[in-house]
Protein backbone atom coordinates (compact mmCIF):
# COMPACT_ATOMS: atom_id res chain seq x y z
CA UNK A 1 0.00 0.00 0.00
CA UNK A 2 1.32 3.41 -0.87
CA UNK A 3 -0.76 5.58 1.39
CA UNK A 4 -4.02 5.82 3.22
CA UNK A 5 -6.22 8.87 3.54
CA UNK A 6 -9.28 9.49 5.63
CA UNK A 7 -11.38 12.45 4.70
CA UNK A 8 -14.85 13.74 5.37
CA UNK A 9 -17.66 14.26 2.93
CA UNK A 10 -16.77 17.92 2.87
CA UNK A 11 -13.30 17.01 1.69
CA UNK A 12 -11.58 17.72 5.04
CA UNK A 13 -8.61 15.46 5.59
CA UNK A 14 -8.92 13.53 8.85
CA UNK A 15 -5.96 11.20 8.71
CA UNK A 16 -3.14 10.53 6.34
CA UNK A 17 -0.51 7.87 6.34
CA UNK A 18 2.15 7.72 3.70
CA UNK A 19 4.20 4.61 3.20
CA UNK A 20 6.25 6.12 0.43
CA UNK A 21 8.52 9.09 1.01
CA UNK A 22 7.09 12.12 -0.72
CA UNK A 23 7.57 15.82 -0.23
CA UNK A 24 4.83 17.78 1.50
CA UNK A 25 4.02 19.53 -1.72
CA UNK A 26 3.46 16.29 -3.60
CA UNK A 27 1.41 14.89 -0.75
CA UNK A 28 -0.83 17.92 -0.79
CA UNK A 29 -1.27 17.74 -4.52
CA UNK A 30 -2.14 14.05 -4.47
CA UNK A 31 -4.50 14.51 -1.56
CA UNK A 32 -6.36 17.35 -3.23
CA UNK A 33 -6.67 15.48 -6.47
CA UNK A 34 -7.83 12.23 -4.93
CA UNK A 35 -10.31 13.81 -2.56
CA UNK A 36 -11.91 15.57 -5.47
CA UNK A 37 -12.02 12.45 -7.61
CA UNK A 38 -13.47 10.26 -4.93
CA UNK A 39 -16.03 12.78 -3.74
CA UNK A 40 -17.25 13.27 -7.28
CA UNK A 41 -18.16 9.63 -7.57
CA UNK A 42 -21.74 8.50 -7.03
CA UNK A 43 -22.59 6.12 -4.20
CA UNK A 44 -23.49 3.27 -6.55
CA UNK A 45 -20.19 3.43 -8.37
CA UNK A 46 -17.46 0.89 -7.96
CA UNK A 47 -15.09 1.31 -5.03
CA UNK A 48 -12.03 0.96 -7.22
CA UNK A 49 -10.55 3.37 -9.63
CA UNK A 50 -7.40 3.56 -11.63
CA UNK A 51 -5.45 6.63 -10.81
CA UNK A 52 -2.14 7.50 -12.37
CA UNK A 53 -0.29 4.19 -12.30
CA UNK A 54 -1.95 3.15 -9.07
CA UNK A 55 -5.25 1.69 -8.07
CA UNK A 56 -7.33 3.56 -5.57
CA UNK A 57 -9.63 1.63 -3.28
CA UNK A 58 -12.05 3.62 -1.21
CA UNK A 59 -15.01 2.99 0.97
CA UNK A 60 -17.34 5.29 2.75
CA UNK A 61 -18.32 4.73 6.36
CA UNK A 62 -20.97 7.22 7.48
CA UNK A 63 -19.54 10.62 6.66
CA UNK A 64 -15.97 9.42 6.37
CA UNK A 65 -14.16 8.15 3.30
CA UNK A 66 -11.34 5.67 3.75
CA UNK A 67 -9.15 5.73 0.72
CA UNK A 68 -6.09 3.60 -0.05
CA UNK A 69 -3.72 3.67 -2.98
CA UNK A 70 -2.24 0.32 -3.96
CA UNK A 71 0.01 -0.87 -6.68
CA UNK A 72 -1.34 -2.31 -9.88
CA UNK A 73 -0.75 -5.96 -9.07
CA UNK A 74 -2.26 -5.65 -5.62
CA UNK A 75 -5.55 -7.14 -4.68
CA UNK A 76 -8.33 -4.57 -4.44
CA UNK A 77 -10.62 -6.78 -2.45
CA UNK A 78 -8.09 -7.47 0.26
CA UNK A 79 -7.50 -3.73 0.47
CA UNK A 80 -11.18 -3.25 1.08
CA UNK A 81 -10.87 -5.82 3.81
CA UNK A 82 -7.93 -3.96 5.30
CA UNK A 83 -10.00 -0.79 5.37
CA UNK A 84 -12.84 -2.63 6.97
CA UNK A 85 -10.55 -4.25 9.51
CA UNK A 86 -9.18 -0.86 10.43
CA UNK A 87 -12.68 0.49 10.91
CA UNK A 88 -13.48 -2.50 13.09
CA UNK A 89 -10.40 -1.83 15.16
CA UNK A 90 -11.33 1.82 15.59
CA UNK A 91 -14.81 0.75 16.50
CA UNK A 92 -13.60 -1.67 19.14
CA UNK A 93 -11.19 0.83 20.58
CA UNK A 94 -13.46 3.86 20.73
CA UNK A 95 -16.72 1.97 21.07
CA UNK A 96 -18.90 2.74 18.05
CA UNK A 97 -16.45 5.12 16.52
CA UNK A 98 -17.60 8.34 14.90
CA UNK A 99 -15.83 10.97 12.92
CA UNK A 100 -15.40 13.16 16.00
CA UNK A 101 -13.51 10.39 17.80
CA UNK A 102 -10.97 10.40 15.05
CA UNK A 103 -10.75 14.19 14.95
CA UNK A 104 -10.24 14.62 18.67
CA UNK A 105 -8.09 11.57 19.24
CA UNK A 106 -6.28 11.58 16.00
CA UNK A 107 -3.04 10.42 17.57
CA UNK A 108 -4.84 7.32 18.87
CA UNK A 109 -6.20 6.61 15.42
CA UNK A 110 -2.63 6.75 14.18
CA UNK A 111 -1.38 4.45 16.91
CA UNK A 112 -4.02 1.89 15.99
CA UNK A 113 -3.18 2.16 12.34
CA UNK A 114 0.50 1.75 13.09
CA UNK A 115 -0.15 -1.38 15.07
CA UNK A 116 -2.21 -2.79 12.24
CA UNK A 117 -0.21 -1.76 9.20
CA UNK A 118 3.50 -1.36 9.03
CA UNK A 119 5.21 0.01 5.99
CA UNK A 120 1.99 -0.47 4.09
CA UNK A 121 1.65 -4.15 4.88
CA UNK A 122 -0.70 -5.72 7.36
CA UNK A 123 1.45 -6.75 10.28
CA UNK A 124 -1.12 -8.69 12.15
CA UNK A 125 -4.26 -10.24 10.86
CA UNK A 126 -5.63 -10.83 14.31
CA UNK A 127 -7.80 -8.05 15.69
CA UNK A 128 -7.22 -9.30 19.19
CA UNK A 129 -3.45 -8.97 18.95
CA UNK A 130 -3.62 -5.45 17.60
CA UNK A 131 -5.97 -4.26 20.31
CA UNK A 132 -3.93 -5.98 22.98
CA UNK A 133 -0.80 -4.19 21.82
CA UNK A 134 -2.58 -0.84 21.85
CA UNK A 135 -4.01 -1.40 25.30
CA UNK A 136 -0.60 -2.40 26.66
CA UNK A 137 1.01 0.64 25.14
CA UNK A 138 -1.74 2.85 26.55
CA UNK A 139 -1.09 1.45 30.00
CA UNK A 140 2.50 2.51 29.67
CA UNK A 141 1.37 5.98 28.88
CA UNK A 142 1.00 7.16 32.46
CA UNK A 143 -0.93 10.32 33.33
CA UNK A 144 -2.98 10.87 30.27
CA UNK A 145 -3.35 14.55 29.36
CA UNK A 146 -7.05 14.73 30.17
CA UNK A 147 -6.67 13.48 33.75
CA UNK A 148 -3.70 15.68 34.18
CA UNK A 149 -5.75 18.65 33.22
CA UNK A 150 -8.49 17.82 35.69
CA UNK A 151 -5.97 17.39 38.40
CA UNK A 152 -4.57 20.78 37.71
CA UNK A 153 -8.05 22.25 37.57
CA UNK A 154 -8.68 20.97 41.05
CA UNK A 155 -5.50 22.51 42.22
CA UNK A 156 -6.46 25.88 40.89
CA UNK A 157 -9.84 25.83 42.54
CA UNK A 158 -8.15 25.04 45.79
CA UNK A 159 -5.70 27.81 45.41
CA UNK A 160 -7.80 30.76 46.65
CA UNK A 161 -8.51 28.91 49.83
Partner 1 sequence: MALKIVKGSIDRMFDKNLQDLVRGIRNHKEDEAKYISTCIDEIKQELKQDNIAVKSNAVCKLTYLQMLGYDVSWAAFNIVEVMSSSKFTYKRIGYLAASQCFHESTDVIMLTTNQIRKDLSSPNQYDTGVALTGLSCFVTPDLARDLANDIMTLMSHTKPYIRKKAVLIMYKVFLKYPESLRPAFPRMKEKLEDPDPGVQSAAVNVICELARRNPKNYLSLAPLFFKLMTSSTNNWVLIKIIKLFGALTPLEPRLGKKLIEPLTNLIHSTSAMSLLYECVNTVIAVVWLSVLKYLGLLAMSKILKTHPKSVQSHKDLILQCLDDKDESIRLRALDLLYGMVSKKNLMEIVKKLMLHVDKAEGTTYRDELLTKIIDICSQSNYQYITNFEWYISILVELTRLEGTRHGHLIASQMLDVAIRVKAIRAFAVAQMATLLDNAHLLTGNTQHSGICEVLYAAAWICGEFSEHLEDPMATLEAMLRPKVATLPGHIQAVYVQNAAKLFSTVLCGQEGAPADSKVAQETSQLLIDRLPVFVQSDNLEVQERASCILQLVKYIQKLQQKDVEVAEEVTALFAGELNPVAPKAQKKVPVPEGLDLDAWINEPPSGSESEDEGRKTKGKAVFAREESRHTKPRYTEVDEKELAKRREVRKAEQANNPFYIKASPSSQKVRTASSPNRQLVLWMPMSDQYVKLEEERRQKNKADRKKDKKKRREKGRQRRGDSGPESEEDITPAHMVDIVTEEMPENALPINSSLTSRCITDVCDIQGNLHDGSQVVVSVIFENKCDSFIKSMEFNVMDSLNSKLQRPEGAGPHDSLTVPFHLPPGISSEARFIFSVQSIVMPQKLKGTLTFIVKDSSTHEKLDFKLHFTCTSYLITTPCYSDAYAKLLESGDLKGSSLKLEGINQPFHHLLARICFHHHFSVVERIDSCASMYSRSIQGHHVCLLVKTADQTVSIDAKCDEPGLLRNVLDEIKLTFSQC
Q: Which residues would be at the binding site for partner 1 (CB under 8 A)?
A: 13-19, 21-24, 28, 73, 75-78, 80-81, 103-104, 106-107, 110-111, 114-115, 118-119, 121-126, 129, 133, 136-137, 140-146, 148-149, 151-153, 155-156
**How many CB atoms are located within 10 Å of the residue 113 CB?**
18
95 or 119, CB closer to partner 1? Answer: 119
45 or 118, CB closer to partner 1? Answer: 118
C-alpha span between 99 and 104 (Å, rounded): 9
Per DSSP, what are the bridge partners of residue 18?
3
* Least distance in angstroms from the C-beta of 90 to partner 1: 16
73 or 96, CB closer to partner 1? Answer: 73
Strand segments, DSSP code E, in 9-157 are 13-18, 48-51, 54-61, 64-70, 117-118, 121-122
* Least distance in angstroms from the C-beta of 86 to partner 1: 14
32 or 52, CB closer to partner 1? Answer: 32
Nearest partner of 57 among 77, 41, 87, judged by Cα: 77
Amino acid sequence: MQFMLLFSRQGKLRLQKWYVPLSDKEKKKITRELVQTVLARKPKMCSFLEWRDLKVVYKRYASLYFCCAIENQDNELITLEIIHRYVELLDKYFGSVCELDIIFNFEKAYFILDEFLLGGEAQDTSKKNVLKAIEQADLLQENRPRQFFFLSAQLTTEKPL
